[in-house]
Amino acid sequence: MKIKHLLALCLTFLVISNVNSQVVNTPKPPSINANSYILMDFNSETLLAEYDINKRVDPASITKMMTAYVVFSELKSGNLSESDLVTVSEKAWRTGGSKMFIEVNKKITVSDLLKGMIIQSGNDACVALAEHIAGTEETFADLMNQHAQKLGMVNSNFKNSTGLPAEEHHITALDAAKLAKAIIVSFPKYFETFSEKEFTFNEITQHNRNTLLWRDPSVDGFKTGHTEAAGYCLVSTAKRNGMRLISIVMGTESQKARADESQKLFNYGFRFYETNLVYKAAEKRVNLEVWKGDDEDVDLGLADDLFITIPRGQYKNLQAKVDMPNYVTAPIKRGQAVGTLNIMLDNKTVASNPLVALKNVESGGWWTRTTDSMGLWFKSFGDDDE
């Protein structure tokens, strides 16, 4: 009979356990004066504070993050270049609200328009980019919605590139957090633009409206927004000692309030929580017995890096438990889920991830399949003590 690897499994996954340590209670999040808000860890996507995160709200200039995402996608795919020249239309020039002050029929680089949109929050820059990429702003809005759906932003809908009020133009705090993470992950080079404090164009210098960039050195993005309907909104992100958090406050009462409420969230998250990389993706964690295959076992691990966000000082209290069969039968495909890894803290599950095969195991030859079939037949009678 084949040798099982359950002992190796236990030793591999329970190494982070210390059941004798005491779990310390974490205080509740601070009271936040906003219509909806969220504080999310970037790596684990754990929500540390939240209120009405699926409420559809007017996004105002938070919309420009989605506009930027589409432009970044076009740049990454090669359909667009930062040095491309965009001819400013009369519609773009006439667009109301905040401006970067471009002029009709002038040719402006994509790079300058991006900075004007992100740093100066220029609505005119948004329209110019939208028309250059899609022909019309309406068609560009369709692109925005297509990308939003791919990102899982199921409660968001965009009617324009600027965030100016429009019927059925909305977002949620949770969707804004998803978008923020997607920009950081997919476009790290362009994400840096969100941290720039000022931009000068046409001899006019304007400052980034995200006051946290001056107040907190750990803050390195994102975007502000304000209309009468939306109130004062702020999506922001900060990184301290390797831990990145994303904060969204929607519908606060002033510029100062959106910064203050966001700072409260950051201070709470960084003070009372920590994020750890518990296991890396594609690393062998355990072997599982394989029957009827061209190999006798298969290496198992995680498809993605596993980050855990927990109260500070509690890493030593984590316990790993595995739910998996005693064996599997071939064929096994790489990436196939064959078990579950559960991370526990204080007898509560804080993460649950599939254990997947790290290689293919094809069906064995006739002799292997025949003998293993006989072995499995005997095992069915309960002869499982090895």
Annotated catalytic residues are 61, 64, 121
Widest CA span in the chain: 85
Residue 255 burial (C-beta neighbours within 10 Å; 0-12, 13-18, 19+): middle
Using DSSP, state whether 213 is helix, strand or coil.
Answer: helix
For residue 323, give the DSSP letter. E
Q: What is the DSSP string of 62-81?
A: GHHHHHHHHHHHHHHHTS--
Pairing of strands 327-329, 286-291: parallel
Residue type, 324: M
Q: How many Å apart are CA 131 and CA 111, to the nearest integer?
A: 15
Q: E-strand spans in the chain?
A: 36-41, 47-51, 85-87, 107-109, 198-201, 204-207, 219-227, 231-240, 243-252, 273-279, 286-291, 297-301, 306-311, 319-323, 327-329, 337-345, 348-357
127: helix, strand or coil:
helix
